[in-house]
Amino acid sequence: MPRAIPGHDPEPIAAAHVLVTRPFRVIPELDRFIQGALIGVTEELVRGGYDWMGVADAEPAGADEVRERLVELNARRPGTAAIHFTFVEAPTLVGFGTAYTAITCTVYGPSGTVVLHADLEVPQRRRILDFLLPRLRPDVDGRVWLAREWRARLAATFPPRGGRT
């Protein structure tokens, strides 16, 4: 079972900003799976009543840089948290999509405290079938994967706001 380390931030979360790190990326652009996962995060946050503060355009160098960005974000919108995903890509064959060896999610509360660190389930490849019939919609796979991980690991950190259930 993937580990999840919950914490607590004294300031309530009202908004979220997403950061993505890909330490061993094959191509510089986000692949369609990750793009779909980011759409899924947006949907879950908005559905839960949180303000969406976007996706960072550059990878953070570390936790200190995430905390520096949070100070700037909280000056604009108090209560902004940072959701930092790290996708570790596996070696791939060109044309057959990206596979991952590890995916982690760290949520920093508005004050910079780590409120959640979780190792997420890595999407399984279909082995030989992927080589013969590559996935046509990896973005949809990313959205489905994120929805499952949100319910399993992230939803407790972002409970519904504003009377929604």
Query: Mean pLDDT by 10-residue block, N- to C-terminus, for the chain (165 residues)?
Result: 57 94 82 92 95 92 94 96 93 66 95 94 71 68 94 93 64
Q: Measured between alpha carbons, how far is 128 from 112 in angstroms, rounded to an integer?
A: 44
Burial of 95: CB neighbours in 10 Å, binned 0-12, 13-18, 19+: exposed
Residue 138 confidence (pLDDT):
78
Residue 2 confidence (pLDDT):
42
Residue 57 confidence (pLDDT):
85
Q: Which of 90, 86, 70, 89 is nearest to 13 (CA)?
A: 70
